[in-house]
Amino acid sequence: MRGLITKGIGGFYYVRTEQGVVQTRGRGIFRNEDITPTVGDEVEISLLEGGDGVVEEILPRRNLFARPPIANVDRIVIVFAATRPKPSFDLIDRFLIMAESKGVDPILCMNKVDLLATSRCEQMIERYRGIYPCVMTSGIDGRGLEDLKALIGDQTVAFAGPSGAGKSTLINLLVPEASMETSEISRKTRRGRHTTRHVEILQMPDGGLVFDTPGFTSFDIRDVDEQDLWRYYPEIAAISGNCRFDDCMHIKEPDCAVRKAVEDGQIRQERYDSYVKNYQEIKENNRRNYG
């Protein structure tokens, strides 16, 4: 019987099948081969007496994340607040790199737009327009929620972003029956408290699936190879083939089409600066680690 792992708690995996949700455990061979069934996995299961089951096979994955452990993500909604907390574009770009490196299409969602003038919100999100789908939302007045639903459609999505950006509030609006616990922003730190304690897939009324995950509030850029970083900036990847050298890293090389595009205004300066900063950080870290 085939199904989808929608929740994992304490070594049990809850698999949604055509006959309902089945509580299962993984076969011992998975543990021996250091393979862990993961929420989002499509699996083959067998039923035992009493109604429980066993995960017999994990079907090929489209992608896999380790922190938090989820698989087969179609899109990542990167949520950041217009204010409270103040957006960090360095962090947003790291999330975008994470999504690109996993082959997952990102959606940029500026939340809490009710707290800031529309013109200011538009100005901040402008740096990403034309590169990624962008939506501005408010968990208070519901602004932009229909636009976000339209971007999600019937796909399987995960939410990422800094703590306190309002991810849980948005998920509550998308999946009302989820009744997720939300947290107030600490007046002292201006950050939210983590409230989600396990990974679960929630069904949207309109057909999409949403990963409810703990974590996904940061991404270690050092997980990416410096030689591949340019591939994860779509506007740079689109032009890089026009560089003089095939192995151009778009930093100091002569006849670099990317740097020329920055000078001509085809690539935004702040995005190029982000690329250079992250490239140098990865390169320096590799130098320290490997000499």
Please indicate, yes or no, whether residues 52 and 184 belong to a single structural domain of this protein.
Answer: no
Higher-pLDDT residue of 213, 17: 17
Is it the case that residue 196 has pLDDT exceeding 80? no
- When pLDDT is averaged across residues 5-28 and rounded to a whole number, the result is 95
Q: What percent of the chain has pLDDT over 90?
A: 78
Q: Are both 84 and 141 inside the same structural domain?
A: yes
> Are 83 and 197 in a shared domain?
yes
The residue assigned the tokens 């591939």 is: 231
Q: What is the mean pLDDT of the chain?
A: 90
Pick from 214, 223, 232: nearest CA to 93: 232
Q: Are residues 149 and 41 in the same domain?
A: no
Residues 38 and 155 in one domain: no
More confident residue, 39 or 289: 39
CATH number at residue 115: 3.40.50.300
What is the rounded average pLDDT of the residues 273-290? 90
Structure tokens given for 91 = 């962090």
More confident residue, 207 or 37: 37
Q: Is 250 within 8 Å of 267 (Cβ atoms)?
A: no
Nearest to 92 by CA among 279, 271, 280: 271
pLDDT higher than 90, residue 188? no
Cβ(27)–Cβ(21) under 8 Å?
Answer: no
My answer on whether 194 and 225 are in the same domain is no
Of the residues 212, 241, 258, which one is the last residue of a structural domain? 212
Residues 77, 194 within the same domain: yes
Greatest CA separation for the chain: 70
| Whole-number pLDDT of residue 291 | 58
The answer to whether residues 33 and 64 touch, using CB atoms and an 8 Å cutoff, is no
